């Protein structure tokens, strides 16, 4: 069954994007949640005050094993953590790697098409090559 989808820059824009049908919406699904700076505020309002079921899909860490976005803070709610599949080998993609980035830079949200899921082995090998570490 098809459902309407809305592309927004911030979640605060969603209510106006949906329009008068917002009050009738029972479930809100958010993909690429790590890119929304207002994730926690929106989800709290939608679930606690507007009685919506909110489904959140997104990364909670970056390739440097640092917190990325607000997804990890969302765990205080009813939470089921799932893992991606590594883009290179058959393994759980626990990490996000950024194929379009120079060494030492932080993940830039303007290059969303450049991120990929990596397993621990691939992220360690990537770190060895990108940062010229001795990983033998």
Instruction: Compute the distance between CA of residue 75 and CA of residue 93 in angstroms, rounded to an integer.
Output: 19
Percent of the chain with pLDDT over 90: 30
Could you report the per-residue pLDDT of 46-66, keeping only the tens digit for each?
988 999 999 888 877 776 778
pLDDT of residue 135: 46
Residue pair 59/34 in contact by the 8 Å Cβ criterion: yes
State whether 133 and 94 are in the same domain.
yes
State the residue range of the domain holding 125: 84-136
State whether 94 and 50 are in the same domain.
no
State whether 94 and 32 are in the same domain.
no
For the annotated catalytic residues, the residue numbers are: 32
User: Exposed (0-12), middle (13-18) or buried (19+): which is 48, by Cβ within 10 Å?
Assistant: exposed
């Amino acid at each position: 069954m098809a459902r309407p989808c809305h592309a927004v820059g911030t979640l605060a824009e969603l209510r106006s994007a949906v329009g008068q049908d917002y009050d009738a919406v029972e479930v809100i699904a958010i993909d690429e949640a790590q890119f929304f700076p207002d994730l926690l505020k929106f989800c709290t309002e939608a679930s606690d005050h507007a009685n919506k079921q909110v489904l959140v899909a997104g990364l909670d860490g970056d390739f440097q094993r640092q917190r990325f976005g607000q997804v990890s803070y969302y765990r205080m709610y009813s939470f089921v953590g799932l893992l991606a599949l590594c883009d290179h080998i058959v393994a759980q993609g626990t990490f996000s790697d950024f194929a379009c980035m120079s060494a030492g830079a932080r993940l830039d949200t303007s290059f969303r098409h450049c991120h990929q899921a990596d397993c621990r082995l691939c992220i360690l090998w990537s770190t060895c090559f990108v940062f010229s570490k001795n990983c033998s």
